[in-house]
Each structure stands twice: as C-alpha cells, then as structure tokens.
C-alpha cells in the first residue's frame, strides 16, 4: 500500500499485495463498480456489515477494501482522532493532555475467512490484512501527521480483544479517554503507542 518515490511517500488508491490480495480505497467514484462485492460482504456483525455498504458516503474516515477473487476479504476504516491522558503538571496536579492519534474506526473480515490462513502458508488472513493497515497508519504518522498513538474500540468479546492484544494493543488505563467513547459505548477502548516497524512485524 506504500510506495517510496524521490518526492517522499506515495500511498496509492489501489494496488496488489501478496497471496492474490488486492486493495482499493472505497470512494464515491468506484462505488458502482464495487457495489455487488460490498453488498455481499458478511462478517457476522450487523453494525460492521451495515457500515461498509455506506462507507463511501462517510467523509470523517477513509476506508480500504481488501479483495481476492472478486470478494471483499476485509475492510478497514481509519480517521484522525486523539487520546486524553491525565498527566501531572509542574505542581504534580493531574491535567488532561490531548495526544493526537490515528483511529482504526472499523475493521471487519468476511466470516468465512475469520480464523483462517492463506492456502499453503502459515499466515492468518485477518492478521495479515490488519498488519498492512498498521503499516499504512505508521507511514501516515511518520510522513503525514504527527500522531502519537493508534486507537480503536474492540467489541467486548474475548476472541476480539485477544486479536488486538496479539497486535500489541492494550486496554485504556485509568486516566485515559478517547474522543469516541460515547459512539462506541458497548466496546472496549484500546491503544498502542506508535510502534517501530520491527514491532509492527513482530521481529
């Protein structure tokens, strides 16, 4: 998803990845072309499935589709956000400091690919795609905006929370608040200090 040029970092709207996976930025100008693939997307979560069908209308975030054999394997929507963290001032009194963040607003994988691996390799579909999204967000944080954290709101299910823990996210600690707690009242907020590339790939 990332290309380096003599002018810096270029993030294309579409392209090819490994294992036959392609990606495309989902916008109004390609909605008709991708309509059928999006309408047939099913993750098992009604909220996530409903959002992707309207994602091209949302201007508060950008959404990438990840496809294989004309099916949407997964999608990820990201937006600018922030975390408020209570920190001591010069006198030791706690004050709320705003830290810029990139929010993984929605991430969903097609039901039949959840907990599955790509054929012939020991690589999970969900993890592979989410790591591509982390890499994308990392380059944005280093080359486009001064974000300090990644943030998301995980469904309050152990399987979901474990997935994000496996990608180094931790649940909010006391004194931390996000901009979107009310919107995601039934979810668990989690954060990740912007990692190095080695941390993203677990090396």
Give the model confidence (pLDDT) of 118-141 as tens digits.
999 999 999 999 999 998 898 888
CATH number, domain with residue 195: 3.40.630.30
Q: Where in the chain does DSSP place strands (E)?
A: 3-5, 8-10, 14-16, 22-25, 62-68, 71-88, 94-109, 149-155, 170-171, 176-178, 187-193
Backbone angles phi, psi at 197, to 5 degrees: -60, -35
pLDDT at 41: 95
User: Parallel, antiparallel, or unpaired for β 94-109 and 149-155?
Assistant: parallel
Q: Confidence band (pLDDT; 50, 70, 90) for 107?
A: very high
CA-based max dimension of the chain: 60
Please state the rounded mean pLDDT for residues 110-116: 95
Q: Retrieve residue 151's tokens.
A: 């943030």
Encode pLDDT of 136-165 as tens digits. Answer: 898 888 777 789 999 999 999 999 999 999
pLDDT greater than 80 at residue 108: yes
Collapsing DSSP states into helix, strand and coil, what is residue 171?
Answer: strand
pLDDT greater than 80 at residue 97: yes
Collapsing DSSP states into helix, strand and coil, what is residue 53?
Answer: helix
Backbone angles phi, psi at 157, to 5 degrees: -130, 140
- The residue range of the domain holding 88 is 3-201
Looking at per-residue pLDDT, the higher value among 182 and 114 belongs to: 114
Collapsing DSSP states into helix, strand and coil, what is residue 29?
Answer: helix
Residue 91, CA atoms < 13 Å, CB-side half-sphere = 2
Which ranges of the chain would DSSP assign to H, the alpha helix? 31-39, 46-54, 125-143, 158-165, 197-201
CB-CB contact of 150 with 134 (8 Å) = yes
pLDDT at 70: 86
CB-CB contact of 66 with 129 (8 Å) = yes
Counted domains in the chain: 1
Please state the rounded mean pLDDT for residues 93-109: 93
Give the Cα separation of 111 and 105 in Å (integer).
19
Q: Confidence band (pLDDT; 50, 70, 90) for 112?
A: very high
Give the Cα separation of 46 and 120 in Å (integer).
31
pLDDT at 146: 80
Q: Retrieve residue 49's tokens.
A: 């499935």
Q: Retrieve residue 94's tokens.
A: 């706690």
| % of the chain at pLDDT higher than 70 | 88
pLDDT at 164: 96
């Amino acid at each position: 998803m990332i290309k380096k040029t003599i002018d810096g970092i270029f993030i294309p709207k579409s392209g090819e990845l490994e294992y036959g996976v392609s990606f495309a930025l989902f916008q109004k100008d390609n909605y008709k072309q991708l309509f059928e693939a999006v309408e047939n997307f099913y993750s098992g979560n009604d909220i996530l499935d409903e959002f992707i069908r309207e994602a091209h209308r949302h201007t508060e975030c950008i959404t990438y589709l990840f496809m294989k054999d004309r099916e949407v394997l997964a999608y990820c929507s990201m937006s600018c956000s922030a975390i408020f963290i209570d920190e001591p001032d010069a006198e030791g009194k706690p004050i709320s400091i705003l830290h810029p963040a990139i929010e993984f607003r929605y991430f969903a994988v097609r039901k039949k690919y959840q907990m599955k691996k790509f054929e012939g390799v020991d690589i999970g579909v969900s993890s592979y795609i989410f790591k591509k999204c982390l890499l994308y967000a990392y380059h944005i944080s280093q080359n486009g905006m001064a974000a300090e954290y990644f943030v998301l709101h995980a469904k309050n299910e152990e399987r979901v929370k474990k997935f994000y823990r496996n990608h180094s996210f931790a649940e909010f600690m006391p004194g931390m608040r996000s901009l979107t707690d009310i919107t995601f009242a039934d979810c668990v907020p989690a954060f990740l200090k912007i990692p190095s590339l080695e941390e993203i790939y677990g090396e």
